[in-house]
Amino acid sequence: MEEDVLTTIMAFIYTIGHWIGDKVVWVIQSAAGIIIPPAITDAIGMLVILSMFLAIAEVARKAIWIVVAIGWVLIILRIAILMIG
């Protein structure tokens, strides 16, 4: 059963990558007027998916650091209030 789920997920990612790659190749061909070999369509799509994943991870990483920094400020503020009062 696990292989079936994994196969389905990988097929979905491949399909999305192929579709995105096809659209990116179409835009490049329309803009530049060159012919891009269809063999690299999938590679372009997978790189786009990977780039989006890394961008999301980077945003999440920054958000986590903001939450940690706010947490430290609140802890220090709480300690300061305990010391004063």
Give the gyration radius of the chain's Cα atoms. Answer: 23
Quote the domain boundaries for residue 69. 2-84
Say if residue 2's pLDDT is above 80: no
Return the closest-CA partner of residue 53 out of 16, 4, 7, 6: 16
Contact between 46 and 17 under an 8 Å Cβ cutoff? The reply is: yes
Whether residue 36 has pLDDT greater than 80: yes
How many independent structural domains does the chain possess?
Answer: 1
In the numeric block, the tokens 């790659």 are attached to: 21
Quick check: 16 and 45 in contact, CB under 8 A? yes
Question: Which pLDDT belongs to residue 4?
Answer: 87
Q: Give percent of the chain with pLDDT exceeding 90.
A: 80
Q: How far is CA 82 from the centre of its chain?
A: 42
